[in-house]
Structure 1
Amino acid sequence: MHPDSRSSGPGHKLPRDASTPHVQKPGSAPAAAALNMPSRDLTVVRIPLRRAKHHFGVFSSRGQRPYNEDTNQAGTISVPAFAKRGPISLQRRPIQKPDEATSADSALGDPQVFYFGVFDGHGGSQCAEFLRDELHGYIEQASAEFGLQSSLRRSPRHETGRKDEEEAHRPEELDMKSEQEVRQKMRVPEEDAHGVVTNPERKEPLKGVSPVSAKVEDLPKAVKMEHDLVEQYRQAVGGYFRRFTPEFFKQPEEGEETDGDGPPITVESVLMYAFLRADLDFISAQARKPDPDDPRVGDSPLNNDEILGAPHIPPSGHGIGGLSRFKGGSTASVALISTPTPAPFWHPNAQSTLVVAHVGDTRILLCQTTTGLAQPLTSDHHPTTPTESRRLRRYAPAGSMVSGDSFGEERIMGLANSRSFGDMRSKRIGVSAEPEITRVEIGPAEYSFLVLMSDGISGTLSDQEIVDVIKEARTPEQGAKDVVDYATEVSHDGDNATCLVVRLGGWERRSEGGVGSLGTREIRDKRRAEALDPRRGKR
């Protein structure tokens, strides 16, 4: 990121009496010439994102579990910009203020694309660690192999001074909502006659905008890559994947040529490909390893796992997993943020495009600045939800695999989630890693912050409680810690808990809309009092 541009050239902070002009005395040497230093405006300083506590915060706890199987990732990735191109008037007059830093350009020449992810492992942490270390690389690799082009580079005929229809209707100033306007829409946990606090029914995820087509260097090659990946799933896994047609993929019909007349490639296509490619590589690597539960492993030759040819390896070139087969898996939620101008996405006047890809029961929320309400971007992928039930019907036996556990929760072959990475024994019946992808256009200061969390938090707290806790924090770093501390304090199952908080343009006004953080204050105090009650475990 570029540093503060208010001052340029060399400077000092000496006291006034030590900064008087140099007067040459007899016998003294002449004053030294000023160093030929570049202006600070031209100097690019790389600031580690994880240390920028005023812009990003993350905190994780193992709860009452012996190990923490959650992982997370944050940084920038080398992919072309996918943000909606702003009006040419904004491009000619940057929204940057004199005292505001700008983000550095990526290696591709576009404003940097930021990447945030949370991964919740089950049955161990191998799969979650693999996603933490490799998933962003798969996205970068897929983008490069598809030949994806920047959304900010269009032909001159598209560059006009007029604002498009959506931009014309965007308000210049935020219209803060009053307490009366927000109370009816707020979903707050309630306490029943027995003093038990229950979370409200969750809101439907925010409906995103349609994908925006992107130019690619070689469309037939990109379409062939999609087709080949689907064919590999059919051959390697079978079952559900024999009738599998991923969303955002162009699948040519029998005998059809992969020409350029099909649906365009989008960043959603790249994310779908990257998720499916990473999952196939992971389960294929596990299938080649010895099963520790197989009594015949000791009789196998030492080179039993060697195969002919060169199997697909992660972009990093590292191996996948340990020495023995891993049968667990992981859920995942990632968020990518792209801006059309060099102004960073956390600037109050900046516009940006947010794309979320989600698998399982991790969760992503936005906090709306004008109302202070939580806006979910994801939904839990449980086998009994209407969307997942319809998807699983593609493979009839999957319905018979859904059963209830001793707590009354529906599971598919013992899994609480019908979508996940890994879980190789359940792939054939439809437990896939095809992500639910949502694109959101974010206006200036429209949202205050972005929250990513594992189900150790979302399974305990309501969405509104989470954003209200963060509103009371001074920095995103403190907000992430406060959410995890509160969730582990009031949790009954003590699951791993991880929270990432990302500052957006409306951060400074996060408590002005609606009732601020007071909407859930009373119920939070009751929950904390109940957690401190020594008779809690006897109820």
Structure 2
Amino acid sequence: MVLTPTNVAFIRSRTPYITKYQPLISARRSFHDYIRYPTADGRMIKLSVTSEKLIGVASSRGMRPYQEDAYTITSVHLPIEGLQYGLTRNFGISWNPGLRDLDLAGQLLFVGLYDGHGGQTVSHHLRDHLHPLFETADASEAPKLINWLKSYSGYFRRYKGGCLEELTRDAPSTQLLDMEARATLAFLMADYDVCQSPEMKRCGATASVAILHPLEIPHFPFFASEYQALTVAHCGDTRAILCSTETGKAFPMTEVHHADTRGEAARLRRIGTGLVTDSFGEARWMGAVANTRGLGDTDFKPFGVTPEPEVRRRILRNRDWAFLAMVSDGISSELTDDEICDLARGATNAREAADSILRFVEELGGEDNATVIIVPLSGWGQVRGPDRTADLRIYRLQQAGGSTRQRRM
């Protein structure tokens, strides 16, 4: 497709492209607020993933007038063929669930955390619409989305699609999506909808999505499986962190996407300099944007702000990991990854762990919107190694005493 002023305007303004996704979501609603798994005696159990006994969540708007954080915890069903293709391509694993477990094998836990800026509309849109787009993502959408981003010119003038480029070479009917391509398509589809809405196009959101795929045959749920595949798709400065049972140390699954970090600085170098440091010493791209990857922020796309997620994958032996923590920047701007893990490790359940992290941030005087999600794995409660940040946390509380804590009371 040759881009001209006429068809660029058509790409940006056509409404059928937006409404095309909604019937797909409605017609194939296979996501649920529960997971299913079989018992030894052949019964099928449904367990709510929104139960505080299973996954812990704590959230506060801090001192802000309203809450811009949002989150989704649900189960999604993805095509078996694509899951098999991704495991073979990325890990060399041959995974065959068999006919008996075919339905359960496509059931994955989806946890999304969205941190809005400039308003709540984008983060709330992602809360409601990103997970079904993971299910309905199709290779045939890749060329349209690539051309849409190219229409912004500037940074995207020579955009070829990144990990989606190979989807433009063959007939869509012959293509399977691994988790990186599926996540990228879903993020771009969601971003397209955001950028067509007059209400949403002036604000934005960062996002971290974690998908847990148990690999046992017969099927076991994510908290009891011996091995599972973890995929994290990420834009911005929300965080996803694994806690090791052996050492108690944090293993980050995300990197912050600020213009002055190494990876983003290298990516943005081709369009020249746009980094401005404000009077507080904080870096802003084009003098306004903290995160150079995110959804929305339409006016800054020509300058390199992209909705393409950074996708990381890992095969977990579950007993090696106690939990997965996901936090918004209201938490990560106050605490290190190791402090987050140490605060959660002694809790009796996931909700208590999330609460302890949030309460500590409030004691330090944190004022931003703050959200914590704790997903227990089979190593829960078995963390060994010392609490390395205990003395540091005591010192920080002593320094934060007085005016900051009194202001919150």
What range is the shorter-chain TM-score in? 0.7 to 0.9
Distance 1:273 1:373, change over 3 A: same
Tell me which residue corresponds to 2:62. Answer: 63
Cα deviation per residue 1:240-282 (whole Å; 9 max; x = unaligned)?
Answer: 11112333223589xxx6359x997422111111111211221
Cα deviation per residue 1:493-523 (whole Å; 9 max; x = unaligned)?
Answer: x11110000011211312x2x21xx211111
**1:241 aligns to 2:156 (yes or no):** yes
Tell me which residue corresponds to 1:218. Answer: none
Cα deviation per residue 1:413-457 (whole Å; 9 max; x = unaligned)?
Answer: 311111111111111111111100000100141111000000000
- 8 Å CA contact 2:345–2:381 kept in 1: the answer is no
- 8 Å CA contact 2:293–2:307 kept in 1: the answer is yes
- 8 Å CA contact 1:241–1:430 kept in 2: the answer is yes
Measured in 1, the distance between the counterparts of 2:404 and 2:110 equals 44
Letter in 2 for 1:339: P
| Unmatched tracts of structure 1, length 5 or more | 7-40, 93-103, 146-221, 287-323
- 8 Å CA contact 1:363–1:379 kept in 2: the answer is yes
- 8 Å CA contact 2:70–2:114 kept in 1: the answer is yes
Measured in 1, the distance between the counterparts of 2:93 and 2:126 equals 37
Q: For 1:144-223, list aligned pairs within 5 A.
A: 145=138, 222=139
DSSP-derived class of the 1:64 partner: coil
**1:115 aligns to 2:93 (yes or no):** no
- 8 Å CA contact 2:39–2:45 kept in 1: the answer is no
Tell me which residue corresponds to 1:491. Answer: 365
Measured in 2, the distance between the counterparts of 1:252 and 1:47 equals 37
What's the offset of the Cα at 1:386?
Answer: 2.0
1:390 aligned to which of 258, 261, 266 = 266
- 8 Å CA contact 1:381–1:417 kept in 2: the answer is yes
**1:458 aligns to 2:332 (yes or no):** yes
Tell me which residue corresponds to 2:222. Answer: 345
Bigger fraction of residues in helix: 2
Measured in 2, the distance between the counterparts of 1:370 and 1:383 equals 34
Where relative contact order (Cα < 8 A, 6+ residues apart) is larger, the structure is: 1
Distance 1:233 1:373, change over 3 A: same
What's the offset of the Cα at 1:363?
Answer: 0.5
2:131 aligned to which of 133, 136, 139 = 136
- 8 Å CA contact 2:364–2:405 kept in 1: the answer is no
What's the offset of the Cα at 1:45?
Answer: 3.6
**1:48 aligns to 2:51 (yes or no):** no
Measured in 2, the distance between the counterparts of 1:392 and 1:70 equals 27
Measured in 2, the distance between the counterparts of 1:277 and 1:225 equals 8
Q: For 1:364-443, list aligned pairs within 5 A.
A: 364-396=240-272, 399=273, 401-413=274-286, 414-443=288-317
DSSP-derived class of the 1:74 partner: strand
What's the offset of the Cα at 1:470?
Answer: 0.4
Q: TM-score, normalised by structure 1?
A: 0.62
**1:354 aligns to 2:269 (yes or no):** no
**1:529 aligns to 2:398 (yes or no):** yes
- 8 Å CA contact 2:69–2:371 kept in 1: the answer is yes
Bigger fraction of residues in strand: 2
C-alpha RMSD over aligned residues:
3.0
Letter in 2 for 1:365: I
Measured in 1, the distance between the counterparts of 2:293 and 2:311 equals 13
Letter in 1 for 2:160: T
| Identity across the alignment (%) | 34
DSSP-derived class of the 1:407 partner: coil
Letter in 2 for 1:244: Y
Tell me which residue corresponds to 1:269. Answer: 181
DSSP-derived class of the 1:248 partner: helix
Aligned residues: 362
Q: TM-score, normalised by structure 2?
A: 0.81
Letter in 2 for 1:438: R
Tell me which residue corresponds to 2:12. Answer: none
Tell me which residue corresponds to 1:334. Answer: 209
Measured in 1, the distance between the counterparts of 2:332 and 2:45 equals 36
Cα deviation per residue 1:20-66 (whole Å; 9 max; x = unaligned)?
Answer: xxxxxxxxxxxxxxxxxxxxx44434222111x34311110011111
- 8 Å CA contact 1:420–1:433 kept in 2: the answer is yes
Tell me which residue corresponds to 2:389. Answer: 520
Measured in 2, the distance between the counterparts of 1:423 and 1:276 equals 13
Measured in 1, the distance between the counterparts of 2:37 and 2:229 equals 24
